[in-house]
Amino acid sequence: MAVRVFLDGLNQLGVSMAYALPKEVFEITAFDQETSLARQLKKEKHVSKVVTMVADGAKAADIIILNQPVDLLSMHYDAIGGRIRPGAVLIDTSPVPLFAGRLAEKFITPEVGFVSLVAGLNLDYLSKQPFHHTSAGTDIFQNSMIAVSSPSRSHKDAETIGVKIARSLGAEAIFMDAAEVQAACTRTMLIPRLAAAALTNLLADQPNWREDRLLASSDFYLFTEPLMGVFDLEHPSLPFSENRDSMLMGLDLFQEEMDNLRALLAAEDSEPLEEYLHRAMTSRAVWQDQRARNSFKDADTHDKMPTTREVYSQLLFGGLSRRQREQDE
């Protein structure tokens, strides 16, 4: 008998899951406010059934996968929490697993499993519009990793099912603490978006904005593109209350780094600035190569003691508690 999966939300991840989950194993039901999209997926036989009420999809499912903006999570947990049958598993794909875990504590019973899956997508998809269904793809999870985390209260099968879903999508599962996942998403998702907002407002408020906007380069376009994917006018998915402290700490360090860069620019000797930029470009190139190969084993060695700031950054941002292990199916 096929495993009944309910996809609550057909954004980039939801549509990609409809594409990627093997139909010989999973029977997929879908819900999205854009009903025409759900019906199109059914017509193309990527899903078996479409529902117009989220509670209807949840109550009949073995696995419920939430693909909703952060600002809509509470509403969806409230709508489906009392409808999920005991023994089913709820999977949340949002970049705020700590927040999602608290919602699970509030709205679902202990007999329902809960696990968070946060995907690091295939490198080819990172340049596409995030979260929108038009950026979905059949291979979006291929050659990628999915971070798996779950609260201790969740029943023991939840993590196992989360790993199996990740592998069914074509990704490698990596076990991480929920706090570490949320902090990583803050640093690599929210801080760039806030920086984009700051630069846009800075330029738009200047008297020469008329000339700037006429001659704005591809660098400006790419730097500010994150604004269009996240600060949606209808759903501004920025979890302020959940991430405020982490965002403030990240912005403090970012501001300190900008001060360091300003000092290098102001100095008469250009060699330190060239070394600074070279180090940044090298780090970017190494990351891109690692992401393309889905291999993150660092071969770097450190022949000097870290600075006080480096130690502080490491303690502040974490990275020391990552645990990766293999789990038998």
- Residuewise pLDDT in 10s, the chain (329 residues): 799 999 999 999 999 999 999 999 999 999 998 899 999 999 999 999 999 999 999 999 999 999 998 888 999 999 999 999 999 999 999 999 999 999 999 999 989 999 999 999 999 998 887 667 888 999 999 999 999 998 766 667 899 999 999 999 999 999 999 999 998 988 898 888 889 999 999 999 999 999 999 999 999 999 998 777 554 444 445 555 667 788 888 899 999 999 999 999 999 899 999 999 999 999 999 999 999 999 887 645 444 444 434 434 444 444 433 334 444 44
Q: The tokens 């899951």 sit on which residue? A: 17
- Other CB atoms closer than 10 Å to residue 299's CB: what's the count? 5
Architecture of domain 181-317: Orthogonal Bundle (1.10)
What does the alpha-carbon distance between residue 75 and residue 87 come to, in Å, rounded to a whole number? Answer: 22
Q: Assess contact for 16 and 140: CB atoms under 8 A.
A: yes
- For residue 31, give the 3-state DSSP assignment: strand
Spatial separation of the C-alpha atoms in residues 239 and 31, rounded to whole Å: 23
CA distance 19 to 117: 17
> Which alpha helices (H) appear in the chain, and where do they start and end?
12-20, 35-43, 54-59, 73-80, 97-107, 157-168, 178-185, 191-204, 209-215, 218-224, 226-230, 240-266, 271-293, 308-317
Please tell me the distance from the alpha carbon of residue 70 to that of residue 34, in angstroms, as a whole number: 18
Pairing of strands 26-31, 49-50: parallel
List the helix and strand counts (H, then E) for the chain. 14, 8
Tell me how far apart the alpha carbons of residues 202 and 185 are, in angstroms, rounded to a whole number.
25
Fold (CATH) for 3-176? Rossmann fold (3.40.50)
**Using an 8 Å Cβ cutoff, are 151 and 104 in contact?**
yes
Annotated domain spans of the chain: 3-176, 181-317
